[in-house]
Amino acid sequence: MKEFAQLINSLDSTNKTSLKTEAIVQYLEHAENRDKLWFLSLFTGRRPKRQVSTALMREWVKEIVDIPDWLFMESYSSVGDLAETISLLLPNPTGSVDLALSEWMDRILDLHVKSDEEKKAFVLHAWQGLPHQERFIFNKLLGGSFRVGISAKSLINAIALYSGLDASAVAHSIMGEWLIDDVDFDLLIKGQYVNTNLSKPYPFCLAYPLENLEKTIVDPQEWQAEYKWDGIRGQIIKRADEIFIWSRGEELVTDQFPELVREFSNWQGDFVLDGEILAILDGEVLNFTFLQKRLNRKSVTDKMQRDIPVSMLLYDLLELNQEDLRHTAMASRRERLEQLFQENQSSSISLSPLIEFQDLDTLHALRASARENNSEGLMLKHKNSIYHAGRKRGDWWKWKIDPLSIDAVLIYAQKGSGRRSGYYTDYTFAVRDGDKLVSIAKAYSGLTDKEIQEVSRFINKNAIEKFGPVRTVKPELVFEIAFEGIGWSSRHKSGIALRFPRIARWRRDKTVEEIDELEEVKKLIK
């Protein structure tokens, strides 16, 4: 645990990718096999379920240090992270507990069959024997909220540097389903288990945002264009008559789309397809908020399948009858995809249509009208491009339409975490509904550090009420909120939900009387 805590501290102490990579390589060179596997599991989002509720952890620490709830919440508000707050409040350790990361994880997992009193005894013993940094990591692991300050791409590159392997090969090897007790770390990253796991997906090929069409697309005849859809990017895998559906977030979502499983089960041959899962009714692509109702469910009822039917628009063919096609040209893969589709005619699956264009003016016009068919813009792919792992500048581009925007007023704020724990960075905004304000969106990004400091000073002076770490703010600061889409929602007070909201700019020139009306915002819903 000491070495793992040192690794986390090293990652949190720098913004330099090279130093983060160096810290990971150093850890992997000295860690035991099961510790490396737990490291990989935690860093790739395979966190175990929470075994001890945060409410119990809060009660135990308040009991130990003998403080009232309001003081604990004030401390939590100031620090911005529950695990760190608990670690800081606890007295210095009175003993020493020295276990490997894997030993801690085994004992934490064993808690699911323990009583609350047994859990308390275990946690208190750990708190008494761990110094601050290790105690902080223990709390994170215990609460199931473990996050790390490194991107997935940087993690892959670090493992590739440690192993001397190609980064794309490493990415392929560690995706999919694997269990810590069934694999060896070095064999796993070398791809030893790839062929024995039928569900193994490929790393997704991703696109860069297009900034200048004229400078990027020199010869239009070398490019193909498709609409960019707002759904769930997924891979359909059919091997040995078994169907697996993977999301771009490396989640196995097969059970959430039973109609796709039924459909592709009838297709001939083995294959791996890349495409977009969409809610489509009567030939019309529905707003993402409809598809969202289908997500993260253990079972999907027949009624939900009828009310929100899903389909898939196919983009690419990555594997056909055990042949890896990723290094063949895009045009060739598209041709074979069309052939496979013709051999397996389907009423619920479609090919993503290629858009005919002869010049760049046509592309400009197509992008400008993309929202009319509920798409996010255009995808431009070079006809000779291979299917890369991750992003590679120059081959695939996403050219999104300009975001929608509204003017809203700040009404709630909460302090951030990490290096921003001393400032208010989590904001809730409202629009006008008659003579009252109604919350419409949360946003966490878009302001400069200087603006964040300025907003925080305003909040400190103009906070009206406190609800734990949340502050009700005097409604004066107006911001332009940009977002990608909008739809109806029964979960929000306003009755609508914004897709990917963020702060576009601080409207110092506007007052709260000039913010948007809810009824006008609703008219943006198509």
**Residues marked as catalytic:** 228
Q: Position 345: which residue type?
A: Q
Burial of 327 from C-beta contacts in 10 A (0-12 / 13-18 / 19+): exposed
Measured at the CA of 381, the angle between CA 376 and CA 387, to 5 degrees, comes to 110
Q: Dihedrals φ, ψ of 155, to 5°?
A: -60, -45
CA 50 to CA 146: how far, in whole Å? 10
453-to-49, 388, 424, 446, 449 alpha-carbon distances in Å: 36, 41, 8, 13, 6
**Given the DSSP bridges, would you call strands 242-247 and 232-239 parallel, antiparallel or unpaired?**
antiparallel
CA 258 to CA 344: how far, in whole Å? 18
Structure tokens belonging to residue 147: 């996050």
Length of the chain equals 526
CA 396 to CA 280: how far, in whole Å? 26
Per DSSP (E only), the strands in 360-501 are 375-382, 390-391, 396-400, 404-415, 424-433, 436-443, 463-467, 470-473, 478-483, 485-488, 496-499
Residue with tokens 């041709």: 335
Closest CA to 267 of 306, 320, 305: 320
Contact present, 174 and 44 (Cβ < 8 Å): yes
Q: Dihedrals φ, ψ of 312, to 5°?
A: -140, 135
Beta pairing partners, 436: 433
Structure tokens belonging to residue 300: 């999907």
Contact present, 440 and 411 (Cβ < 8 Å): no
CA 447 to CA 416: how far, in whole Å? 13
Q: How far apart are the first and last CA of the chain?
A: 53
